[in-house]
Amino acid sequence: MSKNPLTLIMDTNKFNGTNYNDWLRNLRIVLNFENQGYVLDKPLPTALPEGSSQEERVTLDDVPSIMLCMKEVYAVPDRHIRYVVIKEFLGTKMAKRSSVQSHGVKMLSLVKKLEDLKVGFDNDTYIDMILQSLPPSYDPFIINYNMNGLEKSIHELIHMLVQYEATTHKSTPAVLVAEASTSKAKGKRQEGRMLKKEEGKGKGYRGHC
């Protein structure tokens, strides 16, 4: 029997006393892959099939009490988790010089957490919050999006933002080059004028022997 490839999740995210909610979610993912997720929710059988080892029988007796004890001691109330995630989502702003794609991925992951927590935001609300997290340089995009009454999914919005970023970045260097060339030309003209003035002063000077 091949090993469940998802067990790596449990190997890299072991229970440490402070991550019960994440640990339990990862455990469900692994068990559901093996179609055994029911063991966490349904009552365990009162007896194991014949031929079961003593170790399996002891485990059967211990599992319910262990899971209940862990939940009582380590579980973080969903209410608090929801508060923390909403606070992070509302407070996240796109950092300077960061890509809109990485920012979008982060916001998307927070949306997924909020959906898992059954926070009652609709798609338009999520879209508005993501747009509000963008810097002023994206104001033209936001105005165009709202004025045209576009209705997109979050994935589609992020794709549009990535395209917008690529377009604006392509046009920026040309503007900078043009400005730099203009500045250099002005500098050369001013330098030429200064040299002419100095030459004129030299010609007008009359020394006495």
- Residue 133 shares a structural domain with residue 153: yes
pLDDT tens, 93-111?
Answer: 998 888 999 999 999 989 9
Domain boundary among 59, 74, 89: 74
Domain boundary among 47, 74, 101: 74
pLDDT tens, 10-38?
Answer: 777 788 877 777 787 778 777 777 777 76
Rounded to the nearest angstrom, the gap between the alpha carbon of residue 142 and the centroid of all alpha carbons in its chain is 19
Range of the domain at 163: 78-168
- Residue 69 shares a structural domain with residue 12: yes
Which value, in Å, is the radius of gyration of the alpha carbons in the chain? 32
Type of residue numbered 125: T
Predicted TM-score (pTM) of this structure? 0.52
- Residue 99 shares a structural domain with residue 152: yes
* Residue 177 neighbours by CB under 8 Å, 6+ apart: none
Q: CA–CA separation, 6 vs 34, rounded Å? A: 10
Q: Where are the alpha helices (DSSP H) in 41-153?
A: 54-74, 78-91, 100-116, 123-132, 139-147
Residue 139 counted as domain residue: yes
> Which pLDDT value is given to residue 147?
93
Look at residue 167 and tell me whether its pLDDT is greater than 50: yes
- Residue 23 shares a structural domain with residue 100: no
pLDDT tens, 40-90?
Answer: 766 656 665 666 665 655 555 566 667 677 777 776 777 888 888 899 999
- Residue 120 shares a structural domain with residue 60: no
When the pLDDT of each residue in the chain is averaged and rounded to a whole number, the result is 75
Say if CB 135 and CB 96 are below 8 A apart. Answer: yes
Say if CB 128 and CB 85 are below 8 A apart. Answer: no
- Residue 59 shares a structural domain with residue 112: no
Residue 52 counted as domain residue: yes
Q: CA–CA separation, 122 vs 34, rounded Å? A: 33
Residue 192 counted as domain residue: no
